[in-house]
């Protein structure tokens, strides 16, 4: 079974000595046919890289941020319903408070 690795460039020689191989087409290091992957554990990809890995330890609960001030990409993404029918690149008076761009009335002088 093939296991992809996330090896930094500075550590490529060490990974190669342990038996990792370079896939030039995908531009990543991998190991294939190894029963014991413990020497490669520090290069195992995170769950966001598309491969299954051990779950990361839970972080300490910090100050909660409001959803309107936080852009979330990935598994934590929640779509917000549109405020009005205007296109996203045009900011009208109804959606002015929730848009990411500057309001039309605050355009910088040219």
> What are 14-41's pLDDT values in tens digits?
999 999 999 999 999 999 988 888 888 8
pLDDT band at 56 (very low <50, low <70, confident <90, very high): very low
Q: What SS3 string covers 41-106? A: HHHCCCHHHCCCCCCCCCCCCCCCCCHHHCCCCCCCCCCCCCCCCCCCCCCCCCCHHHCCCCCHHH
- Taking the complete model, does pTM exceed 0.75, yes or no? no
pLDDT tens across 71-81, in order?
666 776 667 67
Q: What pLDDT shows up at residue 105?
A: 54
């Amino acid at each position: 079974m093939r296991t992809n690795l996330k090896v930094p460039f500075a550590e490529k020689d060490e990974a190669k000595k342990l038996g990792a191989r370079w896939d030039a087409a995908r531009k990543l290091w991998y190991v294939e046919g190894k029963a014991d992957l413990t020497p490669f554990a520090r290069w195992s990809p995170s769950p966001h890289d598309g491969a299954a890995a051990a779950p990361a330890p839970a972080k300490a609960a910090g100050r909660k941020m409001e959803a309107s001030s936080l852009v979330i990409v990935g598994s934590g993404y929640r779509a917000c319903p549109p405020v009005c029918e205007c296109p996203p690149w045009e900011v009208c008076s109804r959606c002015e408070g929730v848009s990411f761009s500057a309001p039309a009335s605050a355009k910088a002088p040219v």
